[in-house]
Amino acid sequence: MRWISFERAGRASYGVVVGNGIFDVGARRPNDRTLKDLLASGDLEKAGAEAAKQKADHALADVKYLPVITNPDKILCVGINYKAHQEETGRDPTSHPTIFVRFAAAQIGHDQPMIRPEESDRLDFEGEIALVIGKRGRRIPKAKALLKSLPKQETQSLLEELRLN
């Protein structure tokens, strides 16, 4: 299931990609103004399953993509955290990955332009995987960390993709 935040006719919303369109979940959930709100409500899996059975409200071509979580509390990034990337960049292995932050205003939606300031001669960007943590937790055992982050169905898909299970 693919969740999306988008803007159409000047109105921001979120929904589920259905075929070549979007079922607008946000238009039907006035108490959950953003995808982050829906995630925090605990209803993401149920709302997604219901949305996936519906017809699209909007064509993908008719919306402006927004960052998936438009109002994150924080964005923590992990860099140089796997051997192939260390080799690719010519860096020595480290005992701990590099942790750094990004700001919400630095996000862009899919197919939106990346604007390079005139003072810069290059862009520094990378994105391979993103995990959205929608539930509070502290000192979560490693074995349960992904289960805390995603609904069961999406956790299983991610584990299979990463070959961690």
Listing DSSP states for 79-126 in one string gives ES-SHHHHHHHTPPP-SS-EEEEE-GGG---TTPPPPPPTT-S-----
Q: Three-class SS of residue 144? A: helix
Whether the pTM exceeds 0.85: the reply is: no
85-131 pLDDT tens trace: 778 888 888 777 788 888 888 888 999 998 888 998 887 766 656 66
Question: Contact, 13 vs 26, CB < 8 A?
Answer: yes
Tokens of 41: 């409500």
Per DSSP, the three-state class of 7 is strand
Report CA torsion sign: 86, 88, 91, 97: negative
The Cα–Cα gap between 132 and 150 comes to 7
Select, from the ranges 19-28, 41-50, 98-107, the one with the highest average predicted confidence (pLDDT).
19-28
Q: What is the CA radius of gyration of the chain?
A: 18
61 Cβ neighbours under 8 A, 6+ residues apart: 20
Least trusted range by pLDDT, from 48-57, 131-140, 154-163:
154-163
Domains of the chain, residue spans: 3-66, 75-162
- Residues whose CB falls within 8 Å of the CB of residue 110, separated by 6 or more in sequence, listed in order: 65
Angstrom distance (rounded) from CA 23 to CA 16 = 5
Residues near 99 by Cβ (< 8 Å), separated by ≥ 6? Answer: 76, 77, 78, 79
Instruction: Inform me whether the pLDDT recorded for 160 exceeds 60.
Output: no
137 or 160: whose pLDDT is higher? 137
